[in-house]
Every structure is written in structure tokens, then in C-alpha cells.
Amino acid sequence: MSWSLNEIEGLARKATRGAGLSWGLAEDAGRATRWLCAMGLPAADELANVLTEIDGVAYTEIAPQSFDNPWRAPGGTLCPLVAGACLTDMAGALADGEPITLGRTAHPLLLYPYLAAAADMTGTSLALEWDGTTITRADATSFLDSDGPDTPVTEKVRAGIAGAPTGRPARRAWRGEISADTAQILQGLAHRTYAPETEQSRLAGAGAGLTDND
């Protein structure tokens, strides 16, 4: 099913919050999902998988334990939404030529928008590499060199200064695709962010309620 990018961003944001991450991380996740969907990449599927995996897991189990290379999560697997936000915070170090290595990481494709933000903020060409996939951000353009970037989990991700970009320039679109199954997962998580209905809110909502205007 085709969704507008605004719809995708809003759904991703609410679903991420519904899965237990903070509103700040949820805002970032919404933008990241929108970015990748505009590139024609399966970001919504990746997000649904990540949120299903971390639902009910403590933040401290999925966040980097320290920023010494390689980054590792106490629970064994880094969440790309949390690690990605940390990558953006390390933009200055990356631009100064200090590579960052992440240990075992789930769905590393979701890291890319955060690295791209770091590249754009610093005006530096940066690349993200894992398992035969390289995505480069150079001169405000993304280049993808991979046959299948949607890896469920990888043991190593490298972020750092990019060489000459390889692969195809990413396309830009105004809509993205979300399957019915993925939409159902994301909508279910997003529903948790809605305030439960009360008798007072029901009567104050649309319609006449107990007031007969006829």
C-alpha cells in the first residue's frame, strides 16, 4: 500500500513511542523511516521488526554500554534507533577522522539516516559499512552499493570517512510502500500512545452526545 511520507513519519513516530522509547528518539525514528522510504528502501518493515524485538526491553539493555570501539549493548544486540542517535551526537569525531565500530547490531539499515545527518551537519563525506553493504553520504547525495541492505542482524558495522562513492545514487520519492502486515504492527504500537477514552471525552467529541439539536 502506498503512503505519503508525512503519513509514514507520523506512524513511525507514534509506533516507536508506543514500543517504549522516548518521544525524542521517536521523533528521530520517524524522520529516519521517512528518509529511507523515500529512497525506496524497506524502512517500515525494518522498523516494525526492531520495535517488535525491543518491545518491553529496558533501554539500558539495547543502548551502547560505552563509546569505546566497538560499541556493545549489555543485552547483546544494539538497537539501531538508539545507536543511530548516538552516531549523530558523535558527528564531530567522525568528521575529524575517528572511525566508529559497532558490535552486534539489529537491522543496521536504520542507522544510515543518522549517519547522513552527521555528514550533512559537518559537510564531511561519511560511509556506513556492514556485510557487503556500503551507503555513502557525500555532497548531500546518498549512494547505495548493495544487493540487499535489509540485514536482520550484523556482527559489525563501521562508520567513518568515506572514500569515493560507489553504487547507485539513491532515488527520491514522495510516497513509500508499507505492506498490510507491517502497517498492522505499527498501528498496533501507535495505538498505545492514544489516551484511553473516558465518558467525559466521549461526550465532548464529535456528534450530538446527549444534546438533541433537532
CA–CA dist 44, 37 (Å, integer): 7
Q: Is the pLDDT of residue 181 over 50?
A: yes
Domain assignment present for 158: yes
pLDDT of 167: 82
Task: Examine the pLDDT at 180 and tell me if it is beyond 90.
Answer: yes
37 touches 46 (CB < 8 A):
no
User: Would residue 210 count as lying in a domain?
Assistant: no
pLDDT of residue 213: 38
Q: Is the dihedral of CA 92, 95, 98, 99 positive or negative?
A: positive
Could you give the CA distance from residue 112 to residue 89 in angstroms, rounded to a whole number?
14
In a domain, 169, yes or no: yes
The predicted-structure confidence for 63-120, as pLDDT tens digits, reads as follows 999 999 999 999 999 999 999 999 999 999 999 999 999 999 999 999 999 999 999 9
In a domain, 213, yes or no: no
pLDDT digits (tens, 9 = 90+) for 110-165: 999 999 999 999 999 999 999 999 999 999 999 999 877 889 999 999 999 998 88
Q: What is the pLDDT of residues 21-32, one digit of tens each?
A: 999 999 999 999
In three-state secondary structure terms, 184 is helix
Q: Distance of CA 108 to CAs 3, 25, 52, 76, 151, Å?
A: 23, 16, 15, 15, 7
Q: Is residue 209 part of a domain?
A: no
Q: What is the pLDDT of residue 141?
A: 93
| Cell matching residue 204 | 465532548
This prediction's pTM: 0.88
Compute the distance between CA of residue 149 and CA of residue 86 in angstroms, rounded to an integer: 21
Structural domain harbouring 128 = 2-204
Instruction: Please tell me the total count of domains within the chain.
Output: 1
pLDDT value, residue 176 = 87
Q: Is residue 214 part of a domain?
A: no
Question: Does position 207 have pLDDT exceeding 70, yes or no?
Answer: no
Q: What angle do CA 109, 116, 32 make, to 5 degrees?
A: 55
Cβ within 8 Å of residue 157, ≥6 positions away: 101, 102, 105, 108, 111, 128, 129, 130
